[in-house]
Chain A
């Protein structure tokens, strides 16, 4: 006999609600700040990491989702590495430090 039943629709409703979206957006802004403060910089000062920004907030299958955008064609070289440099994981690490989970299913958006 179950005394407790998990209300999945109710949980999803909370995760998709305004407060969840606002909390996620706050954390996304923190992550972007961390990424820009800790990411590697080129010899010439401003670098591609300055282009990391917070994107749209939308509702996904498991609740609110906040995009972190990196509109630079070289973003994947810094995030995932190449033959010439290691994976710095700028956004991944920053998001984790801010308590977020990274979703990187779409090209150019993390």
Chain B
């Protein structure tokens, strides 16, 4: 077995974390499609790193867009920057969904996860996302997450 040290997959870590939070479940009880039409039997776990081809909303997307490790020798402590996008059929719901994600990260993400150990989280404020071309409203928040491998699970 290789002893290569892998930094945590922050997208997987945050997606799984958010899926475990009951405060998000209420957003996914009902769903609409990209045109705002109600749909039946939507998937309940609508937190993704990549939105699926068949989109149902409200939904959350987690994307790592930057950040570099804070230690290089060894390459151990990472500081990824992520963007969390909240998509919903109304502006108000998009704000509430995104702010709920932001608050969950700020208050509960620090700690031990299977994918890695989070030692600190800096979360920004909610800001508008693209709403020029789509019927679905978008809000976003960015965060820097300080994380390193979990020795109990072998890291990523």
Contacts and interface: CB of A to CB of B under 8 A. Distances in A.
Interface of A: 76-77, 80-84, 86-89, 92-93, 96
A86 B66 CA distance: 13
B145 to A, nearest CB: 16
A18 B83 CA distance: 35
A86 B134 contact: no
Which secondary structure characterizes the binding site on chain B?
A: loop
A89 B55 CA distance: 23
A71 to B, nearest CB: 16
27 contacts: A76-B130, A77-B130, A77-B133, A80-B140, A81-B83, A81-B85, A81-B129, A81-B140, A82-B129, A82-B130, A82-B133, A82-B138, A83-B51, A83-B55, A83-B87, A83-B134, A83-B138, A86-B63, A87-B63, A87-B65, A87-B85, A87-B140, A89-B66, A89-B83, A92-B66, A96-B66, A96-B68
Closest 3 CB pairs of A and B: A82-B130, A89-B65, A87-B83
Contacts of B61: 81, 86
Interface of B: 34, 50-51, 55, 61, 63, 65-66, 68, 83, 85, 87, 129-130, 132-134, 136, 138, 140
Contacts, number: 47
Nearest to B140: A80
A70 to B, nearest CB: 15
